């Protein structure tokens, strides 16, 4: 069934579904506790509670909203995901919502995907189609409810029943005034693009005390940007400056269109072992330097999957010998900056053993732009988590990065280029 057919059925199914739902709703669990969420404005939509009912033959997903919304459904396979896109929603859901699913829905996540647009991604245990979907308006003190019933389907029909999700647009605010092709910028200052990882629906790692990676790295990137701008020697831009999701390929595209002379991707991930801690600097390599680097790259490269984004990339094979030479030169500059950053970090912050590592991070694959990925620390380690939210630690780490950037660009600045 195509999306327009699904939408057309919403109105037709509403009357019959309302009677059926009311009967089922009486038996469903209500939100626990008496805590009242912050009141929403007349235009804001707030999600306050969600649950999954049913069995392997029919599974129902329900989310309570402050008012009715429209939504569209799409899907991606490998792994099987159903994506619900809707206008911007403030998710005031109980902690750990979405971590546990039921029957046809293994787990689910939610968040901002673009300005004015929110997304819910449901990981399915197998191919499933939407048998029934409707939105109930608020009635007699009860919240509005978005209700979706899933039933099993065949592998062939899974993607045939849904459209593919629309491509997430590049952030216009980040590219409108400063967007120029690489090599065409009129700026005489080195252009540095800071890339705070994750964002929006993609929270990244979650710390021992529930600190979100996406928030930690954004706050640090803003501090680093302010310090670099104070130097007056650089033009500093960011791939995102608020809580929004940007696909990995788009992050590289933004940096290249801005004419970046250096891309710094900032993260604070989790490690498989809780004792692992300390800052780490990564450069690109098709072959990971160690098991931790391989696991980290695999996790970071799955960001698009988690957010329900398409993974289509351009062709990897490049025949042009000039591009191949540019790639080699870029790799050398990336390694030079990585070593410089490690050197400055040594006297400022705790480093992991063998702090310069390499792996196949998708965000580092620009052939003509030196790029590194820095893990400020690991949120899976309690001590690192405390440091990452410490103003004093952030100041030391940011100052060390400013010093490393100054050393990296010193020859160019000395020549007045």
CATH for 76:
2.60.40.3500
Span of 39-48, 181-190, 238-247, 375-384 with lowest mean pLDDT: 181-190
Q: Which residues contact 65 (CB under 8 A, 6 or more apart)?
A: 45, 46, 47, 48, 89, 135, 143, 144, 145, 146
Average pLDDT of the residues of the chain: 77
Question: Do both 209 and 132 map to the same domain?
Answer: no
Residue whose structure tokens are 């919502």? 97
pLDDT at 265 (0 to 100): 92
Q: Does 122 share its domain with 253?
A: no
The answer to whether 225 and 238 are in contact (CB under 8 A) is yes
Strands of the sheet with 191-196, listed across from one edge: 235-238, 191-196, 262-267, 371-375, 279-284, 351-359
Statement to judge: residues 370 and 248 lie in one domain:
yes
Mean pLDDT of 139-152: 89
Strand partners, 97: none
Residue 80 is assigned to a structural domain of this protein: yes
User: For the chain, how many structural domains are there in total?
Assistant: 2
pLDDT, mean of residues 95-115? 87
The DSSP secondary structure of 145-194, one letter per residue, reads EEEEEEEE--HHHHHHTSPPPPPPPP-HHHHTTT---TT----SSPEEEE
Q: Among 124, 140, 160, where does a domain finish?
A: 160
**Domain C-terminal end among 160, 188, 212:** 160
Whose CA is closest to 99, among 210, 232, 254?
Answer: 210
Of 94, 127, 160, the last residue of a domain is 160
Q: What is the pLDDT of residues 202-237, one digit of tens each?
A: 889 999 898 999 999 999 999 999 999 999 999 999
More confident residue, 312 or 309: 309
Query: 236, 194 in Cβ contact below 8 A?
Result: yes
Neighbour-count burial for 216-241, b at 16+ CB within 10 Å, e otherwise: bbbebbebbbebbeeeebbbbbbbbb
Residue 330 lies in domain: 172-414
Residue 167, in any domain of the structure? no
The CATH number of whichever domain residue 212 belongs to comes to 3.40.630.40
Same domain for 176 and 143? no
165 lies in some domain:
no
In a domain, 141, yes or no: yes
Contact 247, 168 (CB under 8 A): yes
d(CA 124, CA 103): 9
226 and 264 both lie in a single domain: yes
Domain identity same for 7 and 144: yes
Residue with more model confidence, 138 or 41 = 138
Q: What is the pLDDT of residue 40?
A: 52
pLDDT tens digits, residue range 322-337? 434 445 657 788 889 9
| Residue 240 pLDDT grade (very low, low, confident, very high; cuts 50, 70, 90) | very high
Residue 335 domain-assigned (yes or no): yes
User: Is the domain of 194 the same as that of 318?
Assistant: yes
Q: Is the pLDDT of residue 36 over 80?
A: no
């Amino acid at each position: 069934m195509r999306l327009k057919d699904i939408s057309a059925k919403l109105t037709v199914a509403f009357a019959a579904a309302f009677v059926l739902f009311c009967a089922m709703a009486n038996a469903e669990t209500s939100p626990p506790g008496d805590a009242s969420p912050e009141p929403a404005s007349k235009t804001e939509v707030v999600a306050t509670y969600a649950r999954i009912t049913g069995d392997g033959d029919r599974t129902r997903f329900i989310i309570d909203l402050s008012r009715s919304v429209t939504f569209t459904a799409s899907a991606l396979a490998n792994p099987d995901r159903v994506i619900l896109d809707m206008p911007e929603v403030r998710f005031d859901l109980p902690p750990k919502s979405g971590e546990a699913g039921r029957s046809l829905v293994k787990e689910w996540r939610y968040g901002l995907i673009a300005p004015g647009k929110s997304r819910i991604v449901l990981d399915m245990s197998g191919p499933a189609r939407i048998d029934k979907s409707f939105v109930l308006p608020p009635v007699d003190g009860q919240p509005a409810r978005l209700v979706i019933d899933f039933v099993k389907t065949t592998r062939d029909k899974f993607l045939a029943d849904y459209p593919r999700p629309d491509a997430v647009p590049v952030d216009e605010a980040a590219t409108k005034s400063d967007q120029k092709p690489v090599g065409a910028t009129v700026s005489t200052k080195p252009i540095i693009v800071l890339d705070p990882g994750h964002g929006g629906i993609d929270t990244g790692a979650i710390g021992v005390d529930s600190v979100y990676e996406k928030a930690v790295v954004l706050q640090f990137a803003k501090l680093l940007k302010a310090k670099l701008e104070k130097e007056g020697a650089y033009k500093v831009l960011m791939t995102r400056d608020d809580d929004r999701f940007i696909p990995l390929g788009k992050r590289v595209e933004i940096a290249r269109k801005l004419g970046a002379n250096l891309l710094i991707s900032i993260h604070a991930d989790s490690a498989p072992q809780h004792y692992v801690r300390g800052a780490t600097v990564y450069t690109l390599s098709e072959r990971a330097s160690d098991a931790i680097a391989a696991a980290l790259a695999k996790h970071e490269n799955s960001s698009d999957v988690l957010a329900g984004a398409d993974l289509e990339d351009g062709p990897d094979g490049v025949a042009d010998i000039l591009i191949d030479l540019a790639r080699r030169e870029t790799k050398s500059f990336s390694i030079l900056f990585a070593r410089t950053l490690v050197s400055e970090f040594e006297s400022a912050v705790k480093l992991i053993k063998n702090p310069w590592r390499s792996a196949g991070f998708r965000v580092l694959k620009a052939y003509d732009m030196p790029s590194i990925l820095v893990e400020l620390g690991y949120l899976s380690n309690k001590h690192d988590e405390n440091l990452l939210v410490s103003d004093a630690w952030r100041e030391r780490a940011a100052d060390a990065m400013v010093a490393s950037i100054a050393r990296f660009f010193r020859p160019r600045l000395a020549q007045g280029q």
